[in-house]
């Protein structure tokens, strides 16, 4: 991906990080357990995107006055 620092890029990066995490935790499972549907494969990716989205919502609600 080409990263330019936009929030879309951050979201894509979070998605790909989730994909990498999912791959990492699945790698030692028996072969039969490493075949899964696309919806399962996207679970960790969507989770990563959701974390970014919730953080952005929180930041937008506190108008820069939030801590942490
Ligand atoms: Zn994906």
Where are the chain's structural domains?
8-62
Distance 10 CA to ligand 1 centre (A): 14
Q: Note the pLDDT of residue 6.
A: 92
Q: What distance in Å separates the CA atoms of residue 6 and residue 3, rounded to the nearest whole number?
A: 8
Residue 19 Cα to ligand 1 middle (Å): 7
Q: What are the angstrom distances between the C-alpha of 30 and each of 21, 25, 42?
A: 17, 12, 20
Q: Write the DSSP symbol of residue 4.
A: -
What confidence tens digit (pLDDT) does each residue in 12-43 have?
999 999 999 999 999 999 998 888 888 888 99
pLDDT band at 9; cut points 50, 70, 90: very high
Its pTM stands at 0.76
Alpha helices, DSSP H, located in the chain:
7-26, 38-41, 43-62
């Amino acid at each position: 991906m080409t990263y330019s620092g936009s929030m879309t890029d951050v979201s894509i990066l979070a998605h790909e990080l989730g994909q990498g995490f999912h791959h990492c935790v699945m790698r030692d499972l028996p072969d039969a357990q490493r075949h899964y549907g696309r919806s399962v494969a996207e679970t960790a990716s969507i989770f990563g995107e959701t974390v970014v989205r919730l953080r952005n919502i929180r930041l937008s609600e506190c108008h820069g006055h939030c801590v942490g």
